[in-house]
Every structure is written in C-alpha cells, then in structure tokens.
Amino acid sequence: MKSQYRVVVIGGGVVGASVLYHLARYGWTDVCLIERSVLTAGSSWHAAGGFHALNADPNIASLQGYTIDLLSQVEAESGQSIGMHMTGGMHLAGTADRWEWLKSNYRIFQSIGIDDVHLITPEEAGKLSPVLNTDGLLGGMWADREGYVDTTGTVHAYAIAAKKRGAEVIEHNRVLELNQTADGWEVVTEKGTIRAEHVVNAAGLWAKQVGRMAGIELPVAPLAHHYLVTEPIPEIAALDAELPMVVDLEGFTYSRQDQQGMLVGIYELTPKHWMMDGAPWDYGIELLQEDPDRIENELAHVFHRFPVLETAGVKTWVHGAFTFSPDGNPLVGPVRGLPGYWCACAVMAGFLQGGGVGKSLAEWMIHGETETDVFGMDVARYGSYAENKAYIRQTTGQFYSRRFVMTYPNEQLPAGRPLKMAPAHDAMTAAGAFWGESWGLEVPIYFAPAGFEETPTLKRSNAFDLVAEEVRATRQAVGLLDISGFSRFKLTGPNAEVWLDRMMACKLPGPGRARLAPMLSASGRLKGDLTVFNWGRGEWWIMGSYYLRAWHMRWFHEHIEPGVHLTDISDTVVGFSLSGPMSRKVLDRLTDGPIAKLPFMGCGNFDVGLIRAKVGRLSVTGELGYEINCTAGEHIALRRALLEAGADLGIREIGYNALGSLRLEKSFGIWSREFTQDRTPGQTGMDRWIAWDKGEFIGRKAATAERDGNGPAQVAQVIATLEIDAAGADASGYEPVWKDGKRVGFVTSGGFGHWTRKSLALAMIDRDCTAPGTALSVHVVGAERPARVIAASPFDPAGKAMRA
C-alpha cells in the first residue's frame, strides 16, 4: 500500500471492483481498492448472480445491456472464470394489461437499440421451459442476453483485470475515517493513512456509514431478500438444455436452473428492512435466518407456475441483504460541496448494473461527464428531504415489493407522501385537486368532482374528459395553475451578471425582462432549459424544473465564483400562473400597476391584491399568460384573490396534465424528454436561443463547431412534431418511429392535444424524415399506428396568442 493514490475506491464488492477496472481501463492506473475483509464480503458473495434485460428507465436498461456485453470481455481479459450461463430469459404476463405492457416494453427495447428481444406465445414459453405451467399465461417477452454468473468469480475477474492494468487491491483493511483536505481526501485506514485526490463510496451494505464519514446522509437502506435452491429434480435432470431465466410478473418471483435443481428468488409484498444505519462493521460472510412463513403466498404462486417444485426438497436457503434507493436505481456521481467524493452505491442489481455504474463513474471522474444521460442514477436526483429515515423506509420498501410489478403511467404510488405541500394544498384538495409528486412536493395533476377515481391504465384514462375541459377553459378563458413546483434560484452580488453570462448560452435579459436560457456543458451538450429573470437593481432569478433543484445546484456550485451569491429559494417562494385570453383582465382587476403594459417576456414587481408579487409575462401553454410569484405565506391569499377576480371570466383551476397537453400543442420541449444532458442545442432546437455574438460562455466552442457542421454531435436526428392516428391511447415516450419498415427514431413525449383534437408526439427522428407530410408509423401501447410529420406548433404557429 502506498501513501498516496489518485483514487481510493472503498469497497471490494462487484461495484467497487467494476469502478476500479473502468478507471484502469480508461487510463487512470494510480488507483487502489480498499476492502474491509476480502473481496465479495458484502452482498456480492451470496447474490443469485442473475441478469435480466428489463428496466423501467430506458437509459438504465441500455447500461444494463452494456454490463451484459462486458462480462465475457472481463472474463477473457482476466483469465478468471465467471461461470457465465447465457441461458436467455423471459418475462411472463398473465393478465391483459401486463401483456400489453410487455408488448409496449418490447417496442421500447427496439427504440433503445436492444434488438435481441422478441415476444413469445404461451406455447413457445412452454417449449422454452418444459417445466413451466402455462395455464392462464397470455404471452411473454424473450431476451437472448439473460442468464447468470458465478458471483465470486465475477468480482475477482473485475479485480484481476484491473490489477493487470496497474490498479492495486488491498484487502483486510477497513477505512476508518475520511478527512477533506485542500486538494482531496485523507483516508484513514487500519493499515495507515493515504492521501487521495478522489475517494469512491462503493461500500454497499456500509454505504450509509461511509457517507457519514464525509458528513452526508445517503438515501439508501438494506432490505432482506430470500432465494432458495432445490435438491435435484428428476424432470430437470432429464433435460438436454438448461432452463431459461423466468420472471413472473404476477408472482413477484424470479427463477432459473441451478445444477439439476432450481433457484427461486422472491420479492415479497411485505418487505423487511435490515440495519437501516448500515451493516455492523464485524458483519462477516454470513446469512440471515430464513423466514419461509413470510414468503408463503409468493411460494404458492411459484409452485403453481412450476409444479415440479411442489415435491422438490430445499437444498439451501439464502437469506441476505442488499441495498436500495427510493426509486431502486443506483446513487452515482459527485456530491455537491465535497470535491473528489464520489458515490457508487445503492446498486440493487450489481451483477446486472455494476458494469454500467463503473463505466459511467470512471467517465465522469476522468472526463467531467458521462457518455450517456445517467440522470436516472445520479445521486443529485434527490434532495435533503430524502435523508429522512421514514421516507427512506417507505420508499425503498415500496420499490422492493413492486420490483417485478408493473406500474401504470397514470398510477400514483403512496410511499413517502404527502411530504411537501404548498400552502394552498388543502384548499385545492377541497376544490377537487388530484395530486402527483415532484421531488417530494405534491403537485396538482387535474381537478375532479367529488367521488372521482382514476382507473390505472396504459391507455387514455377516465380523467381524459376532465383534462380536456381544463384545456378548453385555458384556451377560451383562463386557467389557474399552482406553480410552486418550479425551481427558483436567486442570484445577487457584484459579480452576478458576469457569472450568469458565462453560465448561460443566451443573451442576458435587460432589467424588467425575462429570457429562455439554454445552459451547456463544456462539451456543448445541454445542462438546462432555464428561464432567467432580471428584476433590476442587480437581482436575478433562474427558474427551472423543480426535480432538478439539487442537480442544478451542484452544477452552479462547481462553477461558483467570488462575488456571486446564489440561493435556492424554491421552498420559500411559490406562486400561481394564469394563462388564457382572459388572464390579463383577471390580473388587471387586482393591480393598480401598469400590468396591461407588461410586454411579452417582461417582468416586474406588482401589487396583486394585498400581495407584493413578482410577475413575469410568459406561459408554457402558448397563451397570453403570467407567472405570479409570492412568498409561501401569501399563497392562499393569492389563489383566493385570483379565483375571485376571475369568477365571471371563466377562470378554472388546472393541473399539470392539462399543461402537458397545452405545451404539446405548441411543440414546446421539456427537460428529461426533449432536452437531456446527452443531446445538443442543434438536435433539440435549443440553438435558436444561443447568443452567438456574445462573449465567452461554457460550451461555446463545441456549440459553435456543431453549428458550423463539424462538431461531434452532427448526428442525423432532430426533434419533429408528429400527429398519430391513435385509437384510445396516445404515445407517452420512447416508442419507436418507423418509415417504410425502417426505424427512424423514437418518441420523446406524446399525448392528446385536447384543443387541436390531435394525438401528438414530439420525436427524435432522422433529419431526412422531418418534412411536414412525411408518412411514418409509431407503436402506441404495442400497436402500430399510422403517423405523419406536421409543422411545429399545431396551435397558433405564429405565436399571436402568447404575444397578444
């Protein structure tokens, strides 16, 4: 062990070993891994080692695909056997909805380029797994690249391959303390103190404690999990070929062959947490006592699906623990305010995801960003609200018990809710608000009459007409929307303007004006689709997506300079927006200021009723509109005043589902859909906001190269607006788009335009297919529907309403 390394990876499980391997592979060889006990001594040694194709987040699904491809390369490179059994595998559906869900997921796989997947009939499933009872099955999805590995062999293979490239592995050495220094970290271990530029928390079951060593509370918790291995089963012993992996979407179970018997794992409905504060330091290579009573119902189901299990003896019970984040995806990346501290934890399926996590983290450390959009596993997708233990318990428990359960796109899950509520929440509930959730905050999705219940579905739901009515009210009169769920950052200080000008690619607005502001990374990819407000007298606001608060703050923090004061004021400033032709009239009744003269994209301080509000004239609906910001204490009064003033003008409260329809009719993109951190301004149309004639800004060089046709992102795909001949269901995202049988792109967002009466989608498609009128097709909930390119902004293309 040396006294200094560029990187110290803490934890010798599959994740730490993969991080070490990727760092060495990408050229950082002055790196070491420190393991408290021996390699694999956490969750890794007793995992079932299975890998499956499905993940609800397509970006994570592609990183899983990367891991599967990588495993054999690592085996070859290391010379260490990983015991790979590439048996193929299937997900089975026994209800119409799950079957439909599998069919639409199959299409999503096509969109992300995973082509070794196809749908199978129950008869085919029965042939592929001769011990499967196909009664009641409607179909399945088959993936060639599913199987399992020997877990210990795999961890050693990553470590040996890393060592061959110059990395070091130090076992039997616990990290005791982490101290931040001027240029990195002092890592205090049982065998002495090491200095490192970077440390990686890959401590698995101990990630919580290794977070606390740096003063952070990670939203992670271990849960106990069972699988069992049977004695040999004669019917299986007699087979010529190995059984495939099977995930039963009805039964919360996964299974595979193990030697001449079967391995069955269970995600039970009643999850059990284990050591919420992390495993004890002296926890060895040991198992928890099995608890068959707890999984009785799930076992009954799997016995029905595999009758040979009914008489099989259990050879081994494995009851162990592994870690989960609230949404089940890993926590990866740098931590704000702790330069050189990196997370690679909460990896719930390390043998499936470990490769992608190692790759992404190594890219991030070495190049400053990842190749693909990894927001779905970025540690900065959570804020401090997620540090709460009850929140962690509820959300991780919910994820665990729904691991193989399908979630409908319009389904609201209860864990960790309600947590944050805008002050007018109760009044809006009384008015019929139904709630969604964004970053712990309850946000209205639509308003419904008493007694209404929305049916979970993949298609248009029974809330369709309610949303249509909200859209109509907005286009014809005025819609009132709670905009507490926007993020707001306040910027002041002598250097504020210069700093902001460097951060944003747009021209900064003058006093009393607002402007749409693309923010770029140094490589010219998108980092934000923000709005900048210049309130005058040196006060600026940056507004964006609420759920990106910590993510944006980390970026701002990484670039902050002396003389810049930046505060996240989203918890203290809330508001409402008005949009629609009557919105000016409503506001005019409440203010004696010159609100009527406020130009499009103007902003200023106005009296609104009794409230001193900050008002901006802009809207995401494409209508004349205003965003009215007030303090949290004034939220209820603002709502009351606006509703009273608009009562005879047709005012109606609306939710974010209506906003989604209204913005699609304007072809307005949003973050995570059209705008992501692996896309460029040229691909997304964001380039129209770039001020090419201003001075230096982050990403200028790369964006200019793209504009001039010689950038790396001169890719052939751009965003276009589509109209789909839909029937009872609309596109929602990631559906493949076809032209004459060839895949030419995928949907980024879709829905019904209630005013234009069109099923609409924004899609990233080949540039040569974007001419209006081009005939295409799109798979919507698994069924191919005719579609065509239409001109952007089917509602009011000239933007007259907004500027009225």
Ligand X SMILES: Cc1cc2nc3c(=O)[nH]c(=O)nc-3n(C[C@H](O)[C@H](O)[C@H](O)COP(=O)(O)OP(=O)(O)OC[C@H]3O[C@@H](n4cnc5c(N)ncnc54)[C@H](O)[C@@H]3O)c2cc1C
Residues of this chain that bind ligand X (CB under 6 A): 10-16, 34-37, 41-44, 46-50, 174-175, 202-206, 210, 225, 227, 318, 320-322, 345, 347-352
Smallest distance, ligand X to C-beta of residue 286, A:
12
Place of tokens 């995570």: 672
Torsion of CA 294, 295, 296, 299, to 10 degrees: -170
Smallest distance, ligand X to C-beta of residue 32, A:
11
Q: Which is nearer to ligand X, 223 or 471 (CB)?
A: 223
Give SS3 for 761. Answer: strand
- As a whole number of angstroms, the distance between CA 164 and CA 34 comes to 17
The secondary structure element, H or E, covering residue 102 is helix 96-111
Smallest distance, ligand X to C-beta of residue 47, A:
3
Residues pairing with 534 in the sheet: 513, 540
- As a whole number of angstroms, the distance between CA 321 and CA 617 comes to 53
Residues pairing with 85 in the sheet: 148
Query: Which one-letter DSSP state was computed for residue 416?
Result: T
- Residue pair 776/791 in contact by the 8 Å Cβ criterion: no
Q: Which is nearer to ligand X, 357 or 415 (CB)?
A: 357
Smallest distance, ligand X to C-beta of residue 79, A:
22
Smallest distance, ligand X to C-beta of residue 416, A:
22
Q: Which is nearer to ligand X, 271 or 320 (CB)?
A: 320
The secondary structure element, H or E, covering residue 181 is strand 175-181
State the maximum Cα–Cα separation within the chain, in Å, rounded to a whole number. Answer: 87
Cα angle 407-412-418, degrees, rounded to a multiple of 5: 140
Q: Which is nearer to ligand X, 319 or 614 (CB)?
A: 319
Distances (CA, A) of 610 to 275, 573, 582, 630, 631: 52, 16, 21, 11, 12
Q: Which is nearer to ligand X, 273 or 701 (CB)?
A: 273
Q: Which is nearer to ligand X, 44 or 104 (CB)?
A: 44
Smallest distance, ligand X to C-beta of residue 169, A:
11
DSSP string, 330-395: -EEEE-TT-TTEEEEE--TTHHHHHHHHHHHHHHHHHHSS-SS--GGGBGGGS-GGGG-HHHHHHH
CA-wise closest residue to 32 among 208, 214, 195: 195
Q: Which is nearer to ligand X, 20 or 491 (CB)?
A: 20
Q: Which is nearer to ligand X, 254 or 499 (CB)?
A: 254
Smallest distance, ligand X to C-beta of residue 269, A:
17
- Residue pair 300/307 in contact by the 8 Å Cβ criterion: no
Q: Which is nearer to ligand X, 275 or 318 (CB)?
A: 318
Smallest distance, ligand X to C-beta of residue 755, A:
47
Q: Tell me if the bond preceding 599 is cis, omega within 30° of 0.
A: no
Smallest distance, ligand X to C-beta of residue 363, A:
19
Q: Which is nearer to ligand X, 89 or 350 (CB)?
A: 350
Smallest distance, ligand X to C-beta of residue 119, A:
24
Q: Which is nearer to ligand X, 48 or 620 (CB)?
A: 48
Q: Which is nearer to ligand X, 350 or 397 (CB)?
A: 350
Q: Which is nearer to ligand X, 202 or 500 (CB)?
A: 202
Is residue 741 exposed (0-12), middle (13-18) or buried (19+ Cβ within 10 Å)? exposed
Distances (CA, A) of 363 to 27, 162, 758: 11, 16, 42
Q: Which is nearer to ligand X, 105 or 323 (CB)?
A: 323
Smallest distance, ligand X to C-beta of residue 214, A:
12
Q: Which is nearer to ligand X, 224 or 618 (CB)?
A: 224
Smallest distance, ligand X to C-beta of residue 415, A:
21
Is residue 236 exposed (0-12), middle (13-18) or buried (19+ Cβ within 10 Å)? buried
Smallest distance, ligand X to C-beta of residue 478, A:
51
Phi, psi of 59 (to 5 degrees): -65, -40
Pair of tokens at residue 653? 């409260």
Q: Which is nearer to ligand X, 321 or 517 (CB)?
A: 321
- As a whole number of angstroms, the distance between CA 751 and CA 656 comes to 13
The secondary structure element, H or E, covering residue 570 is none
The secondary structure element, H or E, covering residue 15 is helix 14-25
Smallest distance, ligand X to C-beta of residue 87, A:
13
Residues pairing with 519 in the sheet: 504, 528
- As a whole number of angstroms, the distance between CA 341 and CA 320 comes to 28
Smallest distance, ligand X to C-beta of residue 487, A:
31
Smallest distance, ligand X to C-beta of residue 325, A:
12
Phi, psi of 233 (to 5 degrees): -115, 120
- Residue pair 331/346 in contact by the 8 Å Cβ criterion: yes
- Residue pair 189/34 in contact by the 8 Å Cβ criterion: yes
User: At residue 217, what is the residue type?
Assistant: E
Q: What is the CA radius of gyration of the chain?
A: 27
Smallest distance, ligand X to C-beta of residue 18, A:
8
Smallest distance, ligand X to C-beta of residue 204, A:
2
Pair of tokens at residue 546? 């609420």
Q: Which is nearer to ligand X, 328 or 509 (CB)?
A: 328
Q: How many helices (H) and strands (E) does the chain have?
A: 20, 37
β-strands 117-120, 139-143 pairing: antiparallel
- Ranges of beta strands (E only) in 521-622 are 526-536, 539-545, 565-568, 573-579, 603-608, 611-616
Q: Which is nearer to ligand X, 396 or 523 (CB)?
A: 396
- Residue pair 178/199 in contact by the 8 Å Cβ criterion: yes
| Backbone CA torsion sign across 376, 379, 385, 387 | positive
